[in-house]
Amino acid sequence: MSASKMRDNVERWLTHEGLSFEETKNPENIFQIQVKHAGQYGIPAEIFEPKAQPGIIVIGAKVIMKNNQIARYLGFNEEEKGKFEKKVSDFCYSIQAINKIITEDGKQKIGIYVVLDDKENINQQTVFDAMDKVSEMHEKTSRFLMKTF
């Protein structure tokens, strides 16, 4: 599937489902689309195809840490940051999420991702199932952070 065909399919599926979205630019991705309200929790999500892995679609969302959590995290030394990151990774692994702790717009965020890499089976149903899964994982990760951090 060509890059534009994959993007066109995703846009068509989102339009068909009545979801509002916009294309955003990211030099690391062939295309990237921001969905305003994804899954049962209506979270902002992104769908993209990494340039490093053409033919793969990644669906993700970012859990934004609260200001007091960010302040605590930034006050950690390297060892404490490592322990926190391991705790987050272990939790994400337990809910089958790929995760990445990132700093964006001056905030600490935990990116939660689902990767669709079976090119023959990337279709409207698998994309929306993955968006539901990301929405649920975002909610679980948010609650995990509130309880443990």
Contact (Cβ atoms closer than 8 angstroms) between residue 126 and residue 116: yes
Give the pLDDT confidence of 54-111 residue by residue, as tens digits: 889 999 999 999 999 989 998 999 999 999 999 999 999 999 999 999 998 888 999 9
Taken in order of first residue, the domains within the chain and their CATH numbers are 3-148 (3.30.1460.10)
- Residues 18-56 pLDDT 10s: 999 999 999 999 999 999 999 989 999 999 999 999 889
pLDDT digits (tens, 9 = 90+) for 69-79: 989 998 999 99
Burial of residue 112 (CB within 10 Å: 0-12, 13-18, 19+) is: buried
Task: Evaluate if residue 2 carries a pLDDT over 70.
Answer: no
φ and ψ of 138, to 5 deg: -60, -45
Interacting residues of 37 by C-beta distance below 8 A, sequence separation 6+:
19, 20, 43, 44
